[in-house]
Structure 1
Amino acid sequence: MTKTKKLINAPEDIIPQLIRGMVAAHPDMLCVEGGTGRAIVAVDGPRDGKVGVVVGGGSGHEPAFAGYVGRGLADAAAVGNIFASPSPEQILDAARASDGGAGVLFLYGNYTGDVMNFTMAAEELEAEGTRVRQVQVADDIASAPKDRRSERRGIAGDFFVFKIAGAAADLGEPLSRVEALARKANDATLSMGVALGACSLPQTGKPNFEIGDDEMEIGMGLHGEPGIRREKLATADQVTDELLGAILSEMQPDSGARVAVLVNGLGSTSLVELYIIFDRLKQVLDEKDIEIHYSWVGEYATSLEMAGASITLMKLDDELTRLLDHPCRTPALTVGAIEGATAGSARSMRKAAASSDATKTTQSPRKLQQGGVITPQIFRHMMGRAGDEIIAHRDWLSELDGVIGDGDHGVTMEIGWKAVQAALDNAPEDETIEGSCKRMAKAFLDAVGASSGPLYATAFLRAGAAVGDRLNLDAAALAAWLAAALQGVRDRGRAEPGDKTMIDAWVPAVQAAQKAAANGTEHDVINAARNGAETGMKATADLESRRGRSAKLGARSVGHIDPGAASTWVTLRAMASALEETLAET
């Protein structure tokens, strides 16, 4: 496969350099706040008595999301890794910087990782006494039918929902009203896209998916998720008619209706092509006597260098029109003129960001059970080996994900496990297994975000708590550790066996481990878990996905191994190998 070319330095430095460059280019509009370095904040946006509007998501969609931070629009954006949700800590930095005492509204695309991470951040803010509301943008009509609209993913419709909510907050509306208007905009906004060519992750340098020179993917997702069907490349007018026709069929605007229009490029589509699309779109709307109140043509929600475009319509009434026309000033969008604001003048008394050190694992003195061959040192060695194997299999895991997802699973897992390894390297020699699990949970969650962050963090925390009364792990305790990790993943992700997720590897792994624990050794338990995970992983190829981004594929997901199940098997296999080697040396 041909390697792609990008003007970057080191892949691991992309996000910090992106943020530094963006803030340096717009110092009159943007700054960075918070310890994570991932919260881009409007210089003259947050202020006392105003609802804070926080947007966010994975990088690679620029100018979304940070490009919409500024006066009259979003107060802050939490910046995730490429195609990966920001972590709860990154979201908290953005929320605390935006909090003027009137509450905070979270706006983000309807993706599993974003929902998990923003919800975890909201739970922590609410525990601190801050009111939080959330709206998931779900405008992509290709990703689910109308009667399951809540399952739809967010694509370029973010543009309109963010604009409406930002205007409402800027006008001083209370939190409940800002939320209601954001939901109204979400309900009025529909999108559909087409992809002509793949993008590539900076870490892999390989196209996320393959598409023929004479093919196009109708309904492609913003992360490269396959659409509803692949067909031969058509003319611009034919593509426009198909995308717009699907939108109008659901929207059902009356003659004389008003709409706002966005023709959006996905990263490498020329303005020539986008204006040709708009030309046809205008012809169709004129024929139907539908008025375009305002239109935008250009790149507003991209997918790295993907070739393709999307069309978004928002059906307007007087209220939405007034909010759409309300002035804003951001790097990516300026409407009207902002009056009476100077940089930094609005931020005099906002709350200082709270700080915490979640890496502390101090425990009250207690008597711990010492039976079992897996000491805390051996446990940390097993976890380190798991990280080594995940890193070694990064490209394979990403390739699996590229077929049915967005192609970043291996990259995401590598980032998370490298963070775990670094955290364990700093663990005190006498730290308990529970303490190391807490350390691993924070490291993974802070480094990754995405859906993997909350899932693995919850798994590590639950697993550690399950063996909190032990110094060493025996066979039964190891099985209990595995079972608690599984339960954590199930509780956080709400997936069940048969959904084609990591659960399909975890469940047979834990069942086999518990059976082996009855009469076997620690080595028997982890070997049984490894074998069970392998069986479960292979069985996912026969399943139709029902959870996550690949659920939009339906029958097209059959025949492909789930990448989450694959990484589960790699992890358990590595743990088994490390334990076997350690026992052989003693």
Structure 2
Amino acid sequence: MSDHHRKLINDPDTLIEDLIEGMVSAHPDLLHVEGGTGRAIVARNGPRDGKVGIVVGGGSGHEPAFAGYVGRGLADAAPLGNIFASPSPAQIADAGRAADGGAGVLFLFGNYTGDVMNFGMAAEDMAREGVPARCFVVTDDVASAPADRAGERRGIAGDFFVFKVAGAAADRGLDLDAVEAAAARANAATRTMGVALSACVLPQTGRPNFDLPVGQMEIGMGIHGEPGIERGPAEGADAVADRLLEPILEELRLGAGDRVAVLVNGLGSTSLLELYLLHRRVAAVLSARDVAIHRSWVGEYCTSLDMEGASVTLMRLDADLEAWLDHPCKTPALRVGEPGPQATARPRRAAARPAARTARAVDRAALKSGGDLGPAEFRAMMHAGAEAIFAERDHLCALDGAIGDGDHGITMEIGWKAVLTALGGVPADTTITGTCDVVAEAFLDAVGASAGPLYASGFRAAGEAVADRVDLDGRALARWLDGFADGIATRGQARVGEKTMLDAWRPAADAASARADSGATSRDCLEAAAAAAQAGAAATADMRSARGRSQKLGDRVLGHVDPGAASAATILAAWARSLRPSEA
């Protein structure tokens, strides 16, 4: 369409696979792919026996982060998620197995809900396989939370320094505790602040995430295309540098005799000319304070697709941090010194990927029956929900772009496409619980992000709630929805009123339960659930966010419907329509 921005891509459905093929073909001496998911990029000369494995990762769209830092002396592997979406637990575990040298694995990533859930689940999977795996979240973004809540902050371009330090510590032979401690020292010493002059354009939609008029800038940007914490008039390079430095200098308390490392990072479409102007001012301000710059990096190190803008990161150095920064590494995006002779290649420990979950075997004769919603109708519901999401994809992305990273519709589309593919491979008479297992596994493997674990947990808990039935009556349908809402709440640690998808799922479950108590059929209960979900989603416009990326925006989220609640309402409405006799 004429209002779409052109991108040099092929099929959006194979975008990440094409990216991986391109990276590996460009750096065959440094990178290759391991694991059944095809998403784990591994250093050819990184993992080795007796060394702590370093795995860094997150969504795609931040290139050269994260796979650009895979190589000798830095990261051993990186799982790649979809655009701005966390990798799935299976993809992360593939990278973890490839990085395992028998001394444990450290996962490092930015502090985002989807990454925390998916990397955490992968660490649990690896622990069950006998591999010690730990998670470390980077929290360098001063704009995203005050100093007394620093643990809530996002990880943005400061990932660069924390990854470098952890990789060096591991390469020097430190044990898992010491490598994790080194990462913590780097994170505590690192602060970042960013600014954007334009929104980025998601490849799948071809449209900017949000509107930013010429002459305005978003202050306090993350790296996922989400709006900043405030908007103001665009300023010159020196004024922007001063604005970005002010909170960093205040927190790091830099003074005469201190030494720092500096990163001036472009977000995707900012020229080196502009970045060097920012560094000029940073250097002048530090010099006036008698603070020495040990090393500087200027360029694109952690981007947000094609966003115009930049960030400034400072790391206050001590002797160890300085030595770890100077430790040699050789990766596609970063080369420091020259690593020693290649280690002897070790036999790969990577275990075969566990088989995907399939529909469980059951004794159908022992299951309760008598309901009006059977396995065939349930499967039709799943198809109807998928088609509704496909139709609403761009609308859901637009909702998300106003308060988040603009990819929710794409994420849900990816998940439901995977569901339809998975359902095509199981028998038509699979029980409702068995179908839920298949749907959950499809979401978890395909989506990553936060929606993957949340929907997987919802479907699994819902399926367990009706595992004693072959079909659903009103009370069973209410139990199914109650299990779904509980699964989401438990996995996401969310409550009603926090502007999340739970604000649609929980009212839906409660409405279905109320109708079931009056003896209504499953179809009537689902109609009530759909109406309650729609009302719940609409009510999120008046809520402030307490979860996810939009939490950082404060009052700027008011007036905007939560995209996760909107997609839940879309799905429930489609499920209800699919069961109406006139529309079956």
TM range (shorter): over 0.9
- Cα-to-partner distance string for 1:248-296 (whole Å, 9 max, x where unaligned): 0111012110000000000000000000100111111000000000000
The aligned residue for residue 140 of structure 1 is: 141
Deviation at 1:362, TM superposition (A): 3.2
Q: Tell me the alpha carbon deviations over residues 118-153 of structure 1, each in whole angstroms, 9 at most, x when there is no partner.
A: 001111111111111111011000000000101100
Shift in Å at residue 346 of structure 1? 2.9
Partner deviation per Cα, 1:555-584 (whole Å, 9 max, x = no partner): 111110000000010010000001114x77
Checking the alignment, whether the CA contact within 8 Å between 1:142 and 1:228 is kept in structure 2 is yes
Shift of 1:416: 0.3
Q: Is the 8 A contact 1:48 1:346 kept in 2?
A: no
Measured against aligned partners, the alpha-carbon deviations of 1:516-562 in whole angstroms (never above 9, x if no partner) come to 01121111100000010011111000011111000000111111000
Kindly indicate whether the alpha-carbon contact (under 8 Å) linking 1:215 and 1:230 is maintained by their aligned counterparts in 2.
Answer: yes
Equivalent residue of 1:357, what SS? coil
Following superposition of structure 1 onto structure 2, how do residues 227-376 of structure 1 map, counting pairs within 5 Å? 227-341=228-342, 345-348=344-347, 350-365=348-363, 367-376=366-375
Superposed CA deviations along residues 372-395 of structure 1, whole A, max 9, x for unmatched, are: 111111101101100000110001
Q: Within 5 Å, give how 1:91-102 maps onto structure 2.
A: 91-102=92-103
RMSD over aligned CA atoms reads: 1.1
Are 1:558 and 2:555 counterparts?
Answer: no
Paired letter, 2:563: P
Q: What whole-Å deviation, never above 9, does each CA across 1:457-500 have from its counterpart, x for those lacking one? A: 00011111111111111111111000000000000001101100
- Mapping of 1:168-567 within 5 angstroms? 168-341=169-342, 345-348=344-347, 350-365=348-363, 367-518=366-517, 519-567=519-567
**DSSP 3-state at the match of 1:355:** coil
- Please show how residues 152-167 of structure 1 align to structure 2 within 5 Å: 152-167=153-168
CA deviations 1:300-341 (Å, max 9, x no partner) are 000000000000000000011111100000000000011111
Name the CA distance, whole Å, in 1 between partners of 2:190 and 2:6. Answer: 35
Question: 1:580 and 2:580 equivalent?
Answer: yes
- Report the CA distance between 1:364 and its aligned residue: 4.2
Partners of 1:464 and 1:54 lie apart in 2 by 34
How big is each residue's C-alpha offset from its partner over 1:188-211, in whole Å with a ceiling of 9 and x where there is no partner?
100000000111111100001110
Residue pair 2:100, 2:350 contacting (<8 A) in 1 also: no
- SS of 2:59's partner is strand
Q: d(CA) in 1 for partners of 2:565 and 2:142?
A: 29
Residue of structure 2 in register with 1:37 after alignment = 38
CA distance in 2, matches of 1:6, 1:379: 39
CA contact (8 A) 2:94 2:353 kept: no
Number of residues paired by the alignment?
581
Inter-partner Cα distance in structure 2 for 1:495 and 1:413: 20
How far has the Cα of 1:429 moved from its partner? 2.0
Q: 1:584 to 1:266 in 2, by over 3 A?
A: closer
Tell me, yes or no, if the aligned pair for 2:478 and 2:525 is still in contact at 8 Å. yes
The question of whether the paired residues in 1 share the 8 Å contact of 2:507 and 2:536 is answered with yes
SS of 2:178 mapped into structure 1: helix
Code of the aligned partner of 2:548:
G
Distance 1:547 1:355 in 2: 32
Q: How far off is 1:355 after superposition?
A: 2.5
Q: Secondary structure at the match of 2:409?
A: helix
Runs of 5+ unmatched residues, structure 1: none
Task: Return 5+ residue gaps in structure 2 as ranges.
Answer: none
Is the contact between residue 45 and residue 346 of structure 1 (CA under 8 Å) also seen in structure 2? no
Is the 8 Å Cα contact of residues 475 and 517 (structure 1) preserved in structure 2?
yes
Contact residue 44 and residue 347 of structure 1 kept, 8 A = no
Amino acid at match of 1:238: A
Give 3-state SS (helix, strand or coil) of 1:426's partner: coil
Q: Name the amino acid aligned to 1:557.
A: V
CA distance in 2, matches of 1:478, 1:492: 21
Shift of 1:5: 1.2
Task: State the distance in 2 between where 1:352 and 1:231 align.
Answer: 50
